[in-house]
């Protein structure tokens, strides 16, 4: 988008100065987030994402969403309560727990993290799925989390990616399966060259994502994100120096208003980003989006309770790891599984559920 070279604010200073206190606090927060993520992954994945998945993909995903939604909830707590970033929502007030395709602009490397603030308010934090670079899946710990939460890895090569996207989305057609499928059509964080390439990609391939899941979705969310004082980087978030405000505008679009053909869907997508251009231009001029105040603030007691649960579970599992030999074997097995499964992107198949379905089908045929 052409105007994106202009900052969302002429003010270039940080929101807070980078003091030794903020550095120490940020390091502690990162250590807590990393250690709790590691413990949750190695202890919960073998049961929730492997063993349970042999019986039911649906219930496996619900348990994974519940457990890892607890951990993801630490990030909005960090942003809004510890860093005191003011997150302001505007536009449409969307209902909770819908199955949606979410389309967002991508100006900063942390845009996708602030979508968790919206998902938490809607009870869908563990249900959000991103399309992301394939190499990120191979990162230790965080890449394992991307894999477990079933983010879709892309090479930005449509010949290769189309099959991966269609295959993974074919497993999300059950309306009972919670889903927030999140797409950044601009691709990686913004540059003019990347934006043009991503727009060409979107124009040529359309909203194929919607075609795969359309019948089971409730709506499309068009989300536009802007920052004050400046676009933050990850370390700004970690140390709490920026942004002072995050503005998130949400436009809920009924499915019937979105074209079904790929060509028309591509044109619709371009028009959607022209609308975003106008929103962001107005934001630069006015300092806010229209119709603010559509979402309430996060509950501090609930955030603290979530933190206590995550820390307590982490402490219990660390105790078992160091106190019992089987705990060490369990950790070793989990690490090997997660590293190899994320690298090769394989998942357990619900064998038991499939056998039951086949037996029922055979019995129906015999009864006829």
Tokens of 199: 């727009």
Question: What pLDDT does residue 82 have?
Answer: 94
Question: What pLDDT does residue 354 have?
Answer: 54
Instruction: For Cα atoms 33, 35, 40, give the angle at the middle one, nearest 5 degrees.
Output: 95
Give me the phi and psi of 111, to 5 degrees please.
Answer: -55, -45
Q: CA nearest 236: which of 129, 111, 332, 62?
A: 111
The whole-model pTM stands at 0.85
Tokens of 304: 């603290």
Mean pLDDT comparison of 162-166, 190-194, 273-277, 300-304, highest-scoring range: 300-304
Question: What pLDDT does residue 109 have?
Answer: 85
DSSP, collapsed to helix, strand or coil, labels residue 11 as: coil
Q: CA nearest 190: which of 198, 182, 181?
A: 198
Question: What pLDDT does residue 196 have?
Answer: 53
Asked if pLDDT for residue 265 goes beyond 90, the answer is: no
CA atoms within 13 A on the CB side of 187: 21
The rounded distance, in Å, linking the Cα atoms of 152 and 158 is 13
86-297 CATH choice from 3.40.1130, 3.30.70, 1.10.4030, 1.20.1050: 3.40.1130
Quick one: pLDDT band at residue 225, thresholds 50, 70, 90? very high
Q: Which class for 338: exposed (0-12), middle (13-18), buried (19 or more C-beta within 10 A)?
A: buried
The proportion of the chain whose per-residue pLDDT surpasses 70, expressed as a percent, equals: 84
Average pLDDT over residues 17-31: 93
Summarize pLDDT for 33-55 with one digit per residue, the tens.
999 999 999 999 999 999 999 88
Question: What pLDDT does residue 167 have?
Answer: 84
Asked if pLDDT for residue 154 goes beyond 60, the answer is: yes
Question: What pLDDT does residue 189 have?
Answer: 47
CA distances in angstroms from 72 to 50, 55, 149, listed in the order given: 20, 26, 11
Average pLDDT over residues 332-337: 93
Burial 229-259, CB ≥16 within 10 A → b, else e = bbbbeeebbbbbbbbbbbbbbbbbbeeeebe
Domain ranges in the chain? 86-297
Average pLDDT over residues 123-129: 92
């Amino acid at each position: 988008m052409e105007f994106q070279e202009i900052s969302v604010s002429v003010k270039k200073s940080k929101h807070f100065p980078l003091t030794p206190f903020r550095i120490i606090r940020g390091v502690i927060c990162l250590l807590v987030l990393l250690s709790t993520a590691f413990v949750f992954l190695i202890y919960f994945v073998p049961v929730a994402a492997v063993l349970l998945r042999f019986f039911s993909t649906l219930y496996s995903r619900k348990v994974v969403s519940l457990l890892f939604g607890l951990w993801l909830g630490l990030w909005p707590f960090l942003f809004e309560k510890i860093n005191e970033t003011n997150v302001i929502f505007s536009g449409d007030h969307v209902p909770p727990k819908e199955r949606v395709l979410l389309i967002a602009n991508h100006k900063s490397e942390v845009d996708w993290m602030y979508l968790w603030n919206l998902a938490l308010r809607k009870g869908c934090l563990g249900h959000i799925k991103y399309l992301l670079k394939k190499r990120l899946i191979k990162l230790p710990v965080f890449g394992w989390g991307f894999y477990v939460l079933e983010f879709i890895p892309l090479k930005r090569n449509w010949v290769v990616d189309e099959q991966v996207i269609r295959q993974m989305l074919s497993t999300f057609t059950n309306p009972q399966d919670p889903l927030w499928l999140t797409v950044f059509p601009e691709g990686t964080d913004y540059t003019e060259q990347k934006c043009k390439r991503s727009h060409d990609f979107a124009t040529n391939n359309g909203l194929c994502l919607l075609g795969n899941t359309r019948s089971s979705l409730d709506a499309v969310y068009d989300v536009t994100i802007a920052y004050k004082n400046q676009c933050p980087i990850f370390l700004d978030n970690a140390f709490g120096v920026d942004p002072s405000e995050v503005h998130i505008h949400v436009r809920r679009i009924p499915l019937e208003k979105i074209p079904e053909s790929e060509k028309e869907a591509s044109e619709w997508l371009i028009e959607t980003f022209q609308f975003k251009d106008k929103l962001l231009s107005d934001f630069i001029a006015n300092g806010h989006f229209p119709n603010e105040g559509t979402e309430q603030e996060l509950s501090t007691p609930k955030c603290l309770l979530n933190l206590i649960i995550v820390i307590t579970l982490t402490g219990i599992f660390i105790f078992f790891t160091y106190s019992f030999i089987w705990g060490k074997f369990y950790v070793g097995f989990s690490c090997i599984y997660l590293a190899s499964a994320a690298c090769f992107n394989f998942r357990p198949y619900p064998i038991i559920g499939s056998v039951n379905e086949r037996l029922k089908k055979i019995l129906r045929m015999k009864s006829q």
